[in-house]
């Protein structure tokens, strides 16, 4: 009699434990977060199927979830099927494992392609400082070229003069735009002496 009561108690405990973990059918959520996605084209897969296209967001990050729930004790393997055209690569962290509970810690990060932003300088006899957003580049007297930090593809840029050289006025031409699929090298800085 004691043994049968014990078995009934164990069965009840198991049933309660299963219901607390998402039900006895074992269907679990599979998802996580993404970052660096600013254009369409990222498609994730689980176990070589269940294609999941990721919709880009304004800041490039957000959450994702596969529509198909996964069975308890099954294995999952989230991989990248395709990447956005402006992505150098997309990598998955925590993408494989065995399902014991809802999976929410998969992380997908895409590295956006970058391109050079360079130009030429004429007439510079003093020192100046060029700026593009938070990027500041000091340029020494006599320089004929400059290179700003690389810019993400599809990102805006705007080269301007932060500090003029002594006794000169410099102007920028072709300094602003949106970075395309290749380097920008036609920015020009022209300096003249003040009278």
pLDDT one digit per residue (tens) for the chain, 195 residues: 444 443 333 333 333 343 344 443 559 999 999 999 999 999 999 999 989 999 988 889 999 999 999 999 999 999 999 999 999 999 999 999 999 999 999 999 999 999 999 999 999 999 999 999 999 999 999 999 999 999 999 999 999 999 999 999 999 999 999 999 999 999 999 999 998
Q: What is the pLDDT of residue 152?
A: 94
Cα–Cα distance measured from residue 130 to residue 139, given in angstroms and rounded to the nearest whole number:
7
- Is the domain spanning 114-193 CATH 2.40.50? The answer is no
pTM of structure: 0.75
Q: In the chain, where are the structural domains located? A: 25-112, 114-193
CATH of domain 25-112: 2.60.40
The domains spanning 25-112 and 114-193 adopt the same CATH topology: yes
């Amino acid at each position: 009699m004691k043994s049968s009561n014990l078995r009934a108690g164990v069965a009840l405990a198991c049933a309660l434990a299963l219901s607390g973990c998402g039900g006895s059918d074992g269907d679990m959520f599979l998802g996580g977060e993404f970052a660096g996605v600013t254009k369409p084209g990222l498609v994730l897969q689980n176990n070589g199927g269940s294609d999941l296209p990721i919709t880009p967001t304004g800041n490039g990050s957000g959450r994702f979830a596969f529509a198909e729930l996964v069975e308890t004790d099954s294995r999952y393997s989230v991989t990248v099927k395709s990447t956005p055209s402006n992505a150098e690569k997309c990598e998955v962290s925590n993408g494989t494992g065995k399902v014991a509970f809802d999976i929410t810690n998969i992380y997908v990060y895409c590295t956006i392609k970058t391109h050079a932003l360079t130009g030429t300088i004429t007439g510079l006899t003093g020192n100046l400082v060029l700026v593009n957003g938070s990027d500041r580049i000091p340029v020494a007297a006599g320089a004929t070229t400059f290179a700003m930090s690389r810019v993400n593809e599809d990102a805006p840029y705007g080269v301007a003069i932060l500090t003029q050289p002594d006794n000169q006025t410099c102007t920028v031409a072709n300094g602003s735009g949106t970075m395309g699929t290749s380097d920008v090298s036609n920015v020009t800085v022209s300096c003249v002496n003040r009278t």
